Chains A and B, each alone.
Chain A
Amino acid sequence: MDILEKEKRLDALEEKLAQLEDDSAIQDLRIEIEDYKRQTMQNLTAWDRVLLARHKRRPTARDVIDNVFNTFVELHGDRLYADDKAVIGGIAEIEHQVVTVIGEQKGRNTEENIERNFGMPHPEGYRKARRLMRQAAKFKRPIVTLIDTPGAFPGIGAESRGQSHAIAENLYEMSNLGVPIISLVIGEGGSGGALAIGVANQLYMLENSIFSILSPEGYASILWKDASLAEQAAEVMKLTSYDLREFDLLEGILEEPAGGFQRDPKPVYRDIRTTLVQSLAHLSQKSPFEIKTGRYAKYRNMGFFQRFNYENLKGMV
């Protein structure tokens, strides 16, 4: 039984709770619900977390922006081709600190999702993000990015306008910005499409978000020639927040309530807010040079391999 079925049962219980009038019955049912949550909504499998990260009621980048930041003015367009609605960006304020916010935006229903292209940006989206980042650097504003995309869009238009070039340019640009970049994975972090706004001084993940090199479906279909093995793929791909923390690629995990972000977003928003304020305060003490070199050094050291020193092997072979 996966997490979505469990959630359905929980929803049914909660619906029942709303209809009850007798006090003692309400009390009993509350206890039952809490018990149920404790028993079933903890120790989630990787696949459960994938499902939660893709949950259709999960708050989107726009929800996070509206609830975490004070004022937000959205800015549009890449000045080259179009305005990509899968990427939103603008200027916002958080605790008297002005920042540039860039996020990958999924829709909240089918209609919105079609408009937002299911959160899969085209090159113009990445170029919009790059424009806003340069602008942020000009005005010395820190940058906060919210990652939530299945990946960069694979389509004819996207390829014709240079999808890989757009992503590469973003990685290139972000490694050299003198303002702090803080990234938060709020849902799916899918491959290069997510990394293109995620080269950060500090990277955070929500507990039930994922960050991976490609979707579990893609992995299963390429390595095992069968996309239906996605569930097993999710387990071996090491894509949950806890896996990434183990690899030491994260600054922190923000916990979610039992059953996921969508069940009770308020405390998570509060948590995001305090985390952002703290890390902005920490990073703002550093000089632009330190910010730049610190970020490059962080990525320079990422990798897992072995190097043999031939000098040490002299005489042995």
Chain B
Amino acid sequence: MRAEEGQKRRLMKQAFEARRRFRARHRTYRGETSPLKHVGVPEGLYEKCKRCGERFVKDDILENKMVCPSCDSHFRLRAIDRLNMTVDEGTFIEKGLGYISLNPLFQEDYEQKLAENRERTGADEAFIYGYGEIKGIPCVLGVLDSHFMMGSMGSVVGEKVVKSVEYALVRRLPLVLFIASGGARMQEGIYSLMQMAKTAGAIQKLNQQDLLYISILTHPTTGGVSASFASLGDIILAEPEALIGFAGPRVIKQTIKQELPEGFQSAEFLLEKGMLDKIVHRHAMKDTLYRLLYLHEKGARL
């Protein structure tokens, strides 16, 4: 009895937290401050580029769309920054709020880890989606945030991806997904695995209704996410130098016991192997998306 009450109280507490995030977020879309936290770096005024080692003032970097001004390497983005860069100001309406992961396998630490991640990123889960406009063209936008448990796909991410597809189906809008994920979420075990079949099936529905699906693979896209909805785009774009593959490089190295060639599993490598449509620099992303959406809209009218 007491255990039940404890459970109830915990769920209520989660609900309150979710409500708080929900309210705070709605302020954002009306153009006020953001509850989703900016910038994927620790506190401090400066940010160091991991590749060339140079230090920059954080605001400058954000101004430059989180791309290193000296060596052009793309930093990982928070979902909110990605949305701000892609969607016309003030047009984004988030859908599918209030989904919270549970702990189906009763794993130690998992709930605590989720709570930490919710606190740190200000989001309910690793995937957010909603209605948005890109230079005036309406579409359904989804972003996987690699700052939330490596963007891994558990039951909630799977469900929300399917919901975003269903929303696109109902509104008959093109679907644009930005992907950054380490794969399926281990803590949810077999449920995470089944999300692969679930999301791939949903994309099949989209295909049957002749709707456009553009997936954009960013660093990193691996494992169960890359082996399901991420690889099924009508058009697959990628950011420069993003790591894209099924198995991670460490696992491959351990299995075949030899060094991997340079640039293996990078976006450039995959483009050469014919697995991508185009590599798009972050500065040109919005424009490219607009052009693709425009061309498809045009095609539909004829």
Contact = CB atoms under 8 A, between A and B. Distances in A.
B191 interface: yes
B252 A156 contact: yes
A161 B230 CA distance: 16
Interface string B195-221: 111101111110110000000000000
A222 B101 CA distance: 21
A195 B264 contact: no
Nearest to A157: B256
Interface in B10-39: 11, 14-16, 18-20, 22-23
Interface in A273-317: 296, 299-300, 302-310, 313, 316-317
A62 interface: no
Contact of B196 (A192, A239, A307, A308): A192
A211 B159 contact: no
Nearest to A163: B246
Contact of B229 (A154, A168, A219): A168
Contacts of A307: 98-100
Interface string B105-126: 1010000000000000000000
Interface residues of B, number: 70
B224 to A, nearest CB: 6
A50 interface: no
Interface string A173-206: 0111000000000000001100110010000000
A249 B190 contact: yes
A51 interface: no
Interface stretch (B68-76, B134-142, B181-189, B289-297): B181-189
Contacts of B105: 236-238
Given A175-B201, A302-B191, A313 B15 contact: yes
Contacts of B246: 152, 154, 158-159, 163-164, 167, 192
A238 to B, nearest CB: 5
A156 B246 CA distance: 11
A214 interface: yes
Contact of B275 (A165, A174, A191, A195): A165
A134 to B, nearest CB: 14
B208 to A, nearest CB: 8
B52 to A, nearest CB: 27
Contacts of B288: none
Nearest to B182: A222
Contacts of B99: 305-307
Interface of A: 152-156, 158-165, 167-169, 171-172, 174-176, 191-192, 195-196, 199, 211-214, 218-219, 222-223, 236-239, 243-244, 247, 249, 296, 299-300, 302-310, 313, 316-317
30 contacts: A152-B227, A153-B255, A154-B246, A155-B256, A156-B256, A160-B269, A163-B227, A164-B246, A168-B230, A168-B231, A169-B232, A171-B201, A172-B232, A175-B201, A176-B204, A192-B228, A195-B193, A212-B193, A247-B104, A296-B205, A299-B194, A300-B198, A300-B201, A302-B194, A303-B195, A303-B198, A304-B188, A307-B100, A313-B16, A317-B20
The 3 A-B residue pairs whose C-beta atoms are closest, nearest first, are A154-B247, A175-B201, A171-B200
